[in-house]
């Protein structure tokens, strides 16, 4: 490859990216970041007005975007989205919910609610759009947000962690099945990120500080710090990366606690 070709590895001009959960948090940041690299963005969210605000912000900055109402928990909504969008070049799936209770206190309804969005909804999108991307003959990239909780847990995280581990295994399986069609599938694993999902922790100073201290960098991440991984995986820079678990956690998984022994 020549220098100019290397310079273009992250260029997404002429490509379409469907970002699910684009109304806020990590999804919003990913939509803006992908647009900044030239992609046409479809901002999908259950809250279509939030998706519209993200799309409008992208267009004000010179990008191309539109909003789409999408409820991952509803099969008909996903089918309608597929009919409208067709096969995108990239699909980024960010939404998730959590119910923080000890496993013995979880109700069947708690389990159903978390599984229906985090795992069933995620799988539904991966299946439908993955099939369309494979059939298009153009290939493409699917990025699903897992979590460090796919690997490590704490009290109150059982059902959330199970769904995030499940999302990782779905990504790996679809990477294997869709690889021959040129569709790459990868999982991004954030550590602690300041989003609406983590507002409960952020509002508790002791809890917030404890999580910050657990990472090697000693702080929480901003949603924008997840964008680089997504652009890499959606672009030609990641053309030989599939089935991966890309950890973006400030060193949380790399170290065993924050105690510094007297060496």
Spatial distance between the Cα atoms of 117 and 112, rounded to a whole number of angstroms:
9
The strands making up 245-248's β-sheet, listed across from edge to edge, are 65-69, 40-45, 16-20, 90-93, 140-145, 183-190, 245-248
Task: Measure Cα distances from 9 to 78, 132, 225 in Å.
Answer: 31, 24, 20
Q: Which residue carries 């799309």 as its tokens?
A: 55
- Quick check: 90 and 15 in contact, CB under 8 A? yes
State the Cα angle at 204 between 198 and 205, rounded to 5°.
115
Residues pairing with 19 in the sheet: 43, 92
Spatial distance between the Cα atoms of 228 and 225, rounded to a whole number of angstroms:
7
> The tokens of 139 are what?
């290939």
- Quick check: 45 and 27 in contact, CB under 8 A? yes
Spatial distance between the Cα atoms of 40 and 218, rounded to a whole number of angstroms:
35
Spatial distance between the Cα atoms of 78 and 144, rounded to a whole number of angstroms:
16
- Quick check: 235 and 228 in contact, CB under 8 A? no
Note if 160 is an active site residue.
yes
Q: Which listed residue (6, 160, 208, 240) is catalytic?
A: 160
List active site positions: 160
């Amino acid at each position: 490859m020549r220098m100019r070709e290397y310079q273009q590895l992250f260029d997404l001009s002429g490509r379409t990216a469907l970002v699910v959960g684009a109304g806020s948090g990590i999804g919003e940041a990913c939509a803006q970041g992908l647009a900044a690299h030239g992609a046409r963005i479809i901002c999908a969210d259950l809250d279509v007005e939030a998706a519209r605000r993200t799309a409008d912000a992208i267009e004000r900055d010179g990008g191309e975007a539109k909003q789409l109402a999408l409820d991952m928990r509803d099969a008909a909504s996903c089918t309608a989205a597929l009919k409208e969008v067709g096969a995108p070049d990239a699909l980024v799936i960010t939404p998730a919910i959590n119910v923080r209770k000890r496993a013995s206190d979880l109700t069947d309804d708690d389990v159903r609610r978390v599984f229906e969005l985090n795992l069933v909804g995620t799988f539904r999108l991966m299946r439908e759009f993955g099939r369309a991307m494979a059939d298009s003959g153009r290939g493409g990239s699917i990025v699903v947000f897992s979590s460090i909780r796919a690997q490590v847990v704490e009290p109150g995280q059982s059902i959330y962690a199970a769904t995030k581990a499940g999302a990782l295994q779905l990504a790996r399986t679809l990477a294997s099945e869709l690889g021959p069609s040129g569709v790459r599938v990868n999982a991004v694993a954030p550590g602690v990120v300041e989003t609406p999902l983590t507002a409960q922790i952020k509002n508790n100073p002791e809890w917030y500080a404890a999580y910050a201290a657990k990472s090697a960098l000693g702080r929480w991440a901003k949603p924008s710090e997840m964008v680089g991984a997504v652009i890499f995986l959606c672009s030609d820079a990641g053309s030989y990366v599939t089935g991966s678990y890309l950890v973006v956690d400030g060193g949380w998984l790399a170290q065993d606690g924050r105690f510094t022994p007297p060496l």
